[in-house]
Each structure stands twice: as C-alpha cells, then as structure tokens.
C-alpha cells in the first residue's frame, strides 16, 4: 500500500496542521512570486469551466484592462495571455516573431535575464547576437547606435526594462527610438516583467512592438499566466513562424479572437484572482498610485539598510524602486546562508544574488507590502546581524533622496 493510500483522513489533517504551524506565512521581499492581498486569494475560491460564459468574459475584461494600463489603442494593439511564467511569454515572442529562415535576433543584456534570452535563442536554434553591458550599469544607447550602424540586419531586438538580477532600469524608450531609426525593419521586444504597472513607460513613444509581463509582479496577482502587449501589425506578420505549438503567439491570438478561449487548459483560478488584483490596482491609483507606494517602500528600505552598514550595488542613476541589490558586508562573521535562514525563521524572505562577478543579495519591495513591512524587515535584519556578531556602524544622519523613476 502506498504512503498516500495508507493515510487516514485524521492523520492527513494532523500532518497538514503540523506543517502549517512549523511553516507560518512569510513576508516575501522578492520580485515574484510576491505577497498578494487576502482579497485576491479569496477571489480564487471558485470553480469556473474554461468554456463557461462567465470565464470567457473574465478573459475578455482582463485583456481590455491590460491595454488600458499600457495606454495603447485596441485598434493598434492586443493583449495575448499565455499559460505559464513570464519566461514562457518571452520565449513565445522569440519563437513567433523571428522568421524560421533568415531571421536574426539582437539581445541587449546587462544581467541574468538578458542572458536568459540568449539561452532561449540558442536552445530554439534562433540565430542571435548578444551585446553585453556591465551588470552594475545600464544599456548604453550610444553604443547600441554604433552597433546598429554596422549593417547587420535584425528581425528582432530585445532588452529587459527592469533587470531584476540587479534592479537597474534600462532606457527602453530611447533605445526603441534608436532601434527604429537605424533598423526600422526590426521588431522591438521589451521584457517589462518586474516593471509593468509600476514604472511608467510610453509604448508608442518607445516604438515598442512587444511588451511582456506576468500576473504575479507589479499588478499583484498570483503566478499562473503571463501576457504580451503586442502591436497587431507586427503580430500579423508572424503567422507560421513559431517552432512551438504551445508558444505560438499568433495562434493564441487567433484563438482568443475566434471564440474568446485559450487554446489549451487555462489557469482559471489565477485569472479570477488577477481580475480582483486589477480592481485593487485601479483603486490604488493605477501606475502612479502603485509607483508612489513602491517608492515609499524603497526609500524606507534603502535608508535603513544604509544605517545598518550595507552598500548598494547600483548608483542612484542606474537603480530603480522595484528591487535593490546589496553587497555582502565585509566582515568575517557574515555568512549569507546563515543570514538568509535566520531571516526566514523570523518570517522574512529575501532573495539571493544573481550576479556573475560579485557577492550580493536582493531585497524587493513590490507586492502587497507597505512602509511598515519594510521597517519590520529592517528590525529583523538588525536582530540577525546582532546574532551573527556582525557590528552595525553608528549611522550618520544626512538628507538623502534614494529612489528615482
């Protein structure tokens, strides 16, 4: 008899209770998955069929709302939802929008998520070049201009808006204008995974053709689907390009337009939660309202971490207000694994670093978090440093302006 079939209802309930008590809910100071409101979670406590008229209306409304947030016209753009995490949608754009023959992609990378795009291309057999910039900086528009002038023709140029491995914010609008000036035939992809909904970006001004994000980022839904804000005139050119059935954006779009349904089993509960998240987003004041709270969170965090003796990776000019990367303290008693575990025991979950050339860790301040949460995190960090016998310097008060758009 298997372990599962041998469990009685009583023992199964007892085991779940023990698990819950030994693993209480934690605050997630990460770039996703992130803390969701109770009302978003409660909105998922319903079952709807994929062909249910009510669910089809939910999908339609979500697609419309995403275009509203993006501030683009439904005559020119569409929102294509895709089951799976954000990387699925990024790969879907590469699969769909790079021709099978003669199409080449250019990736502008200054961190791990730009490099992941290159790995996608290599895995899928898509010819590509990666123009790499330092991890502690941003993509340099002038150098991109020099590269584009050399004459190699690209079908697709891609960049990450908020490079989540560091928190840097790349100048996607200026880059888009440069790309279209020197390579007007190229489609322009922006991975706005950790920025859409909180960092303003003008899609039309940046001449962006594809903008990708995920349900469980700044719009504060739960994981389960990603989406592409796509320029219709570009998407229509891509029929038949995809090397993948499930990641074919053009086919997914035609499915939505034909019967309002996903081609394959949809994440019904995730979409119900997301619809509630969109309502809360609107009530908070949209992009500007959410940006205001995230900036407040970021300022509290960065000021407190400075007082605790931590040094940021990025300069003020390169960093944003989504996530902040910190160097390890230069002290022999500091061990990140111990630091991480002790914070986790206090119910505070941060992120390890994702850099190739520096020992760092990351703290995000997006999701259903508020300045009070950031203050409590800082208090816990202070306790952990004390327990590790890592001294905290005496803070020097100074007027600072830490978080910028």
**144 within 8 A of 108, measured Cβ to Cβ:** yes
95 located within any domain: yes
Query: Can you give the CATH number for the domain in which 364 is found?
Result: 3.90.1150.10
Q: Is the pLDDT of residue 144 over 70?
A: yes
Residues 219 and 271 in one domain: yes
Residues 360 and 249 in one domain: no
Cis, peptide link before residue 35, omega less than 30° from 0: no
35 located within any domain: no
Q: Is the pLDDT of residue 278 over 90?
A: yes
392 located within any domain: no
**pLDDT at residue 32, as a whole number:** 83
Q: Rounded to an integer, what is the distance from CA 53 to the centroid of its chain?
A: 30
**Tens digit of pLDDT for each residue in 217-237?**
999 999 999 999 999 999 999
Residues 272 and 289 in one domain: no
Query: Can you give the CATH number for the domain in which 219 is found?
Result: 3.40.640.10
**Tens digit of pLDDT for each residue in 189-202?**
999 999 999 999 99
Task: Quote the CA–CA distance of 304 and 310 in Å, as a whole number.
Answer: 9
Q: Does the annotation place 362 within a ligand binding site? A: yes
Task: Determine the straight-line distance between the first and last CA of the chain, rounded to whole angstroms.
Answer: 59
User: Domain total for the chain?
Assistant: 2
Residues 291 and 377 in one domain: yes
pLDDT class of 216 with cuts at 50, 70, 90: very high
**pLDDT at residue 402, as a whole number:** 47
Residues 230 and 306 in one domain: no
Residues 25 and 66 in one domain: no
Mean pLDDT of 316-336: 94
Output the average pLDDT for the chain.
Answer: 92
Mean pLDDT of 157-163: 98
Report the percentage of the chain scoring pLDDT > 90.
Answer: 86
Mean pLDDT of 307-334: 94
Query: CB neighbours of 54 closer than 8 A, spacing ≥ 6?
Result: 48
pTM: 0.91
Residues 271 and 329 in one domain: no
Q: Rounded to an integer, what is the distance from CA 54 to the centroid of its chain?
A: 29
Cβ atoms within 10 A of the Cβ of 281, count?
Answer: 22
Nearest to 307 by CA among 398, 401, 403, 404: 398
Residues 212 and 294 in one domain: no
38 located within any domain: no
Residues 253 and 341 in one domain: no
Q: Is the pLDDT of residue 396 over 80?
A: no
DSSP 175-239: HHHHHHHH-TTSEEEEE-TTTTTTS---TTTTT-SEEEEETTSTT---SSEEEEEEEHHHHGGGT
Nearest to 208 by CA among 218, 196, 217: 196
**Tens digit of pLDDT for each residue in 53-73?**
999 999 999 999 999 999 999
What is the C-alpha R_g of the chain?
22
Q: In which domain, by residue range, is 353 found?
A: 3-30+285-387
């Amino acid at each position: 008899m298997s372990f599962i079939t041998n469990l009685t209802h009583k023992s199964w309930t007892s085991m779940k209770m023990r698990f819950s008590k030994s693993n209480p809910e934690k605050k997630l100071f990460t770039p996703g998955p992130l803390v969701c409101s109770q009302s978003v979670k409660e909105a998922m406590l319903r079952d709807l069929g994929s062909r249910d008229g009510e669910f089809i209306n939910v999908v339609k409304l979500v697609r419309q709302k995403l275009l509203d947030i993006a501030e683009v016209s439904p005559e020119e753009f569409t929102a294509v939802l895709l089951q799976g995490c954000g990387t699925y949608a990024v790969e879907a754009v590469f699969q769909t929008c790079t021709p099978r023959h003669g199409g080449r992609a250019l990736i502008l990378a200054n961190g791990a998520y730009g490099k992941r795009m290159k790995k996608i291309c290599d895995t899928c057999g898509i010819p590509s070049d990666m123009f790499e910039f330092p991890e502690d900086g941003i993509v340099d528009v002038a150098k991109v201009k020099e590269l584009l002038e050399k004459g190699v023709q690209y079908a697709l140029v891609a960049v990450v808006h908020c490079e989540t491995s560091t928190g840097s914010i790349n100048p996607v609008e200026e880059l888009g204008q440069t790309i279209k000036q020197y390579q007007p035939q190229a489609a322009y992809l922006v991975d706005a995974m950790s920025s859409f909904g909180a960092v303003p970006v003008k899609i039309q001004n940046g001449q962006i053709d594809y903008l990708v994000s995920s349900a469980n980022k700044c719009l504060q839904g739960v994981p389960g689907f990603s989406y592409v804000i796509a320029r219709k005139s570009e998407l229509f050119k891509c029929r038949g390009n995809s090397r993948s059935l499930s990641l074919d954006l053009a086919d997914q779009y035609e499915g939505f337009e034909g019967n309002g349904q996903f081609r394959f089993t949809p994440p019904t509960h995730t979409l119900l939660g997301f619809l509630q998240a969109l309502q809360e987003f609107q009530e908070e004041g949209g992009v500007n309202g959410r940006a205001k709270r995230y900036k407040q969170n970021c300022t509290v965090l960065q000021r407190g971490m400075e007082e605790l003796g931590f040094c940021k990776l990025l300069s003020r000019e390169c960093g944003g207000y989504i996530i902040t990367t910190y160097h390890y303290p230069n002290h022999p008693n500091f061990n990140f694994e111990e630091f991480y575990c002790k914070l986790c025991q206090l119910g505070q979950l941060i992120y390890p670093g994702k850099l190739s050339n520096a020992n760092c860790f990351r703290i995000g301040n997006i999701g259903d978090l508020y300045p009070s949460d950031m203050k409590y995190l800082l208090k816990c960090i202070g306790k952990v440093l004390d327990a590790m016998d890592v001294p905290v310097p005496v803070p020097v008060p100074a007027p600072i302006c830490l978080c910028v758009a």
